[in-house]
Amino acid sequence: MTKRHFQASVDIEIPFHDVDMMAVVWHGHYCKYFEIARCALLDQFDYNYLQMRDSGYFWPLIDLRLRFVKPARFGQTVSVQATLAEWENRLKIDYLLTDKLSGTRLCKGYSIQVAVDAQSGEMRFESPPVLFDKLGVSKP
């Protein structure tokens, strides 16, 4: 299989409604920031959630991990990078959230999604051919 590199990065200015009384981002919002970067990544190969549904598959998250290094704060601009790490049997996306100005690592993590047949509701144990077509890679 041809190994390709898929990566997207988005910048987010931390809004007031995402922080606690100490102006620190509430931990649950990091999932939202990862999701924004994930959608930018999926858009790169034209297989975001609407295209997934239209292709006959749902891709629910089955695992999400975050490791907090330093807090993000109100008004800070952060960069969130999403990298497609695996796609043969599942979608594993790695994330890195850094301070835009200094490059300081604030949070890292990953998510795992699996294909579920929209008709039968059954989980597939390998990614469907449509994903390989969208990525422009051959199936192993």
Q: Where are the domains of the chain?
A: 7-135
Question: What Rg value do the Cα atoms of the chain yield, rounded?
Answer: 16
* Tens-digit pLDDT profile for residues 67-99: 999 999 999 999 999 999 999 999 999 999 999
The answer to whether the beta carbons of residues 33 and 12 sit under 8 Å apart is yes
Q: Are strands 61-68 and 77-86 parallel, antiparallel or unpaired?
A: unpaired
**Is 2 a residue whose pLDDT tops 50?**
no
Tell me what pLDDT residue 1 has: 42
The answer to whether the beta carbons of residues 87 and 135 sit under 8 Å apart is yes
* Tens-digit pLDDT profile for residues 102-124: 999 999 999 999 999 999 999 99
* Tens-digit pLDDT profile for residues 34-74: 999 999 999 999 999 999 999 999 999 999 999 999 999 99
Q: Name the residue among 71, 74, 68, 96 with its Cα closest to residue 83.
A: 96
Tell me what pLDDT residue 31 has: 98
Class for the domain spanning 7-135? alpha beta
Tell me what pLDDT residue 4 has: 72
Q: How far is it, in rounded angstroms, from Cα 83 to Cα 85?
A: 6
Tell me what pLDDT residue 3 has: 59
104 Cβ contact partners less than 8 Å away, ≥ 6 residues apart: 70, 98
- Per the prediction, the chain carries an average pLDDT of 95
